[in-house]
Homo-oligomer: A and B are copies of this chain.
Protein backbone atom coordinates (compact mmCIF):
# COMPACT_ATOMS: atom_id res chain seq x y z
CA UNK A 1 0.00 0.00 0.00
CA UNK A 2 2.78 2.44 0.84
CA UNK A 3 4.52 1.93 -2.50
CA UNK A 4 1.34 2.72 -4.42
CA UNK A 5 1.24 6.22 -2.96
CA UNK A 6 4.85 7.15 -3.77
CA UNK A 7 5.35 9.19 -6.95
CA UNK A 8 6.46 7.51 -10.18
CA UNK A 9 10.28 7.20 -10.41
CA UNK A 10 12.52 7.09 -13.44
CA UNK A 11 13.27 3.50 -14.39
CA UNK A 12 16.43 1.89 -13.10
CA UNK A 13 16.85 4.14 -10.07
CA UNK A 14 15.66 2.08 -7.10
CA UNK A 15 15.66 3.82 -3.75
CA UNK A 16 13.90 3.78 -0.46
CA UNK A 17 10.40 5.22 -0.19
CA UNK A 18 11.64 7.94 2.16
CA UNK A 19 13.87 9.49 -0.51
CA UNK A 20 11.04 9.46 -3.04
CA UNK A 21 8.68 11.18 -0.60
CA UNK A 22 11.28 13.78 0.42
CA UNK A 23 12.25 14.59 -3.20
CA UNK A 24 8.59 15.03 -4.22
CA UNK A 25 7.98 17.30 -1.21
CA UNK A 26 11.15 19.27 -2.00
CA UNK A 27 10.09 20.06 -5.59
CA UNK A 28 6.54 20.85 -4.51
CA UNK A 29 7.68 23.19 -1.71
CA UNK A 30 10.24 24.96 -3.93
CA UNK A 31 7.65 25.32 -6.69
CA UNK A 32 5.05 26.78 -4.32
CA UNK A 33 7.21 28.97 -2.06
CA UNK A 34 10.34 29.64 -4.10
CA UNK A 35 13.83 28.37 -3.31
CA UNK A 36 14.68 30.82 -0.51
CA UNK A 37 11.49 30.16 1.50
CA UNK A 38 11.62 26.39 0.98
CA UNK A 39 13.43 25.64 4.23
CA UNK A 40 14.24 22.10 5.39
CA UNK A 41 11.58 22.65 8.10
CA UNK A 42 8.90 23.32 5.51
CA UNK A 43 10.05 20.47 3.26
CA UNK A 44 9.92 18.08 6.24
CA UNK A 45 6.40 19.28 7.09
CA UNK A 46 5.31 18.82 3.48
CA UNK A 47 6.77 15.31 3.40
CA UNK A 48 5.25 14.38 6.78
CA UNK A 49 8.70 13.21 7.89
CA UNK A 50 10.73 14.22 10.95
CA UNK A 51 13.29 16.94 10.25
CA UNK A 52 15.95 14.81 11.96
CA UNK A 53 15.35 12.04 9.40
CA UNK A 54 16.06 14.51 6.62
CA UNK A 55 19.18 15.93 8.31
CA UNK A 56 20.48 12.39 8.88
CA UNK A 57 20.50 11.82 5.10
CA UNK A 58 21.31 15.36 3.89
CA UNK A 59 23.37 17.55 6.24
CA UNK A 60 22.40 20.77 4.41
CA UNK A 61 19.60 22.12 2.24
CA UNK A 62 22.12 22.37 -0.62
CA UNK A 63 22.96 18.66 -0.38
CA UNK A 64 19.25 17.79 -0.40
CA UNK A 65 18.57 19.98 -3.44
CA UNK A 66 21.49 18.49 -5.38
CA UNK A 67 20.29 14.92 -4.71
CA UNK A 68 16.75 15.94 -5.58
CA UNK A 69 17.95 17.38 -8.92
CA UNK A 70 20.06 14.29 -9.61
CA UNK A 71 16.94 12.20 -9.06
CA UNK A 72 14.78 14.47 -11.22
CA UNK A 73 17.26 14.40 -14.11
CA UNK A 74 18.13 10.73 -13.93
CA UNK A 75 20.44 9.24 -16.55
CA UNK A 76 21.22 10.97 -19.88
CA UNK A 77 18.73 10.00 -22.61
CA UNK A 78 19.65 6.83 -24.50
CA UNK A 79 22.54 7.52 -26.81
CA UNK A 80 21.66 8.63 -30.32
CA UNK A 81 23.79 8.08 -33.39
CA UNK A 82 25.93 10.96 -34.58
CA UNK A 83 27.28 14.08 -32.86
CA UNK A 84 24.45 16.39 -33.92
CA UNK A 85 21.75 14.00 -32.65
CA UNK A 86 23.55 13.42 -29.35
CA UNK A 87 23.86 17.17 -28.77
CA UNK A 88 20.32 17.98 -29.89
CA UNK A 89 18.78 15.27 -27.72
CA UNK A 90 20.82 16.41 -24.69
CA UNK A 91 19.63 20.01 -25.15
CA UNK A 92 15.96 19.01 -25.55
CA UNK A 93 16.23 16.70 -22.54
CA UNK A 94 17.71 19.42 -20.26
CA UNK A 95 15.10 21.96 -21.48
CA UNK A 96 12.25 19.54 -20.71
CA UNK A 97 13.60 18.69 -17.24
CA UNK A 98 14.15 22.37 -16.32
CA UNK A 99 10.53 22.99 -17.34
CA UNK A 100 9.17 20.47 -14.80
CA UNK A 101 7.50 22.11 -11.76
CA UNK A 102 10.07 23.00 -9.11
CA UNK A 103 13.11 21.76 -11.04
CA UNK A 104 14.06 25.09 -12.67
CA UNK A 105 13.46 26.96 -9.39
CA UNK A 106 15.58 24.49 -7.40
CA UNK A 107 18.36 24.54 -10.01
CA UNK A 108 18.51 28.35 -10.21
CA UNK A 109 18.40 28.64 -6.41
CA UNK A 110 21.20 26.21 -5.70
CA UNK A 111 23.44 27.92 -8.29
CA UNK A 112 22.85 31.27 -6.71
CA UNK A 113 23.77 29.91 -3.25
CA UNK A 114 26.85 28.23 -4.73
CA UNK A 115 28.36 31.53 -5.90
CA UNK A 116 29.26 32.29 -2.28
CA UNK A 117 29.49 28.72 -0.89
CA UNK A 118 32.63 26.78 -1.91
CA UNK A 119 31.47 23.53 -0.25
CA UNK A 120 28.18 23.63 -2.15
CA UNK A 121 30.02 24.33 -5.43
CA UNK A 122 32.11 21.22 -4.83
CA UNK A 123 28.96 19.13 -4.32
CA UNK A 124 27.31 20.66 -7.41
CA UNK A 125 30.34 20.12 -9.62
CA UNK A 126 31.22 16.60 -8.49
CA UNK A 127 27.86 15.03 -7.72
CA UNK A 128 25.57 16.78 -10.19
CA UNK A 129 27.68 17.98 -13.12
CA UNK A 130 30.54 15.48 -13.39
CA UNK A 131 28.53 12.36 -14.33
CA UNK A 132 26.87 14.19 -17.24
CA UNK A 133 30.11 15.97 -18.20
CA UNK A 134 31.99 12.67 -18.38
CA UNK A 135 29.21 10.96 -20.33
CA UNK A 136 29.15 13.83 -22.85
CA UNK A 137 32.96 13.97 -23.16
CA UNK A 138 32.86 10.27 -23.94
CA UNK A 139 29.91 10.39 -26.36
CA UNK A 140 31.18 13.45 -28.24
CA UNK A 141 34.94 12.87 -28.01
CA UNK A 142 35.47 16.44 -26.79
CA UNK A 143 37.88 17.73 -24.11
CA UNK A 144 36.66 18.87 -20.70
CA UNK A 145 36.84 22.63 -21.38
CA UNK A 146 34.61 22.37 -24.45
CA UNK A 147 32.00 20.22 -22.68
CA UNK A 148 31.99 22.61 -19.70
CA UNK A 149 31.23 25.49 -22.09
CA UNK A 150 28.53 23.36 -23.75
CA UNK A 151 26.89 22.67 -20.36
CA UNK A 152 27.24 26.30 -19.16
CA UNK A 153 25.60 27.56 -22.33
CA UNK A 154 22.64 25.18 -22.26
CA UNK A 155 21.83 25.28 -18.56
CA UNK A 156 22.73 28.95 -18.05
CA UNK A 157 20.64 30.15 -21.00
CA UNK A 158 17.61 28.08 -19.97
CA UNK A 159 17.79 29.21 -16.32
CA UNK A 160 18.25 32.87 -17.29
CA UNK A 161 15.13 32.70 -19.45
CA UNK A 162 13.25 31.18 -16.52
CA UNK A 163 14.45 33.92 -14.13
CA UNK A 164 13.37 36.64 -16.57
CA UNK A 165 9.99 35.21 -17.62
CA UNK A 166 9.05 32.69 -14.90
CA UNK A 167 8.39 30.19 -17.69
CA UNK A 168 10.46 27.51 -19.41
CA UNK A 169 11.89 28.48 -22.81
CA UNK A 170 9.45 27.91 -25.69
CA UNK A 171 10.30 25.30 -28.34
CA UNK A 172 11.20 27.84 -31.05
CA UNK A 173 13.87 29.34 -28.83
CA UNK A 174 15.14 25.92 -27.71
CA UNK A 175 15.49 25.14 -31.44
CA UNK A 176 17.43 28.38 -32.00
CA UNK A 177 19.72 27.60 -29.05
CA UNK A 178 20.24 24.11 -30.46
CA UNK A 179 21.13 25.51 -33.88
CA UNK A 180 23.62 27.93 -32.29
CA UNK A 181 25.33 25.19 -30.27
CA UNK A 182 25.33 22.64 -33.10
CA UNK A 183 26.93 25.00 -35.57
CA UNK A 184 29.68 25.85 -33.07
CA UNK A 185 30.34 22.30 -31.88
CA UNK A 186 29.53 20.44 -35.10
CA UNK A 187 33.09 20.09 -36.31
CA UNK A 188 34.60 18.74 -33.14
CA UNK A 189 37.97 19.89 -31.90
CA UNK A 190 39.86 18.60 -34.92
CA UNK A 191 39.23 21.87 -36.73
CA UNK A 192 40.59 24.16 -34.01
Q: Which residues of A contact B (CB under 8 A)?
A: 30-31, 33-36, 104-105, 108-109, 111-118, 121, 124-125, 129, 145-146, 148-149, 151-153, 155-166, 169, 172-173, 176-177, 179-181, 183-184
Once A105-B115, A116-B33, A184-B183 are accepted as A-B contacts, the answer to whether A160 and B164 lie under 8 Å apart by CB is no
A117 partner, pick from B31, B34, B146, B158, beta carbons under 8 A? B34
Highest count of chain B CB atoms <10 Å: which of A149, A164, A165? A164
Asked if A116 and B35 sit within 8 Å, CB to CB, the answer is: yes
- 29 of the cross-chain contacts (CB-CB < 8 Å) are A34-B113, A34-B117, A35-B112, A35-B116, A36-B36, A104-B115, A108-B115, A109-B112, A111-B159, A111-B164, A112-B112, A116-B166, A121-B166, A124-B163, A124-B164, A129-B164, A148-B173, A149-B173, A149-B177, A152-B164, A153-B157, A156-B156, A156-B157, A156-B161, A159-B160, A179-B184, A180-B180, A183-B184, A184-B184
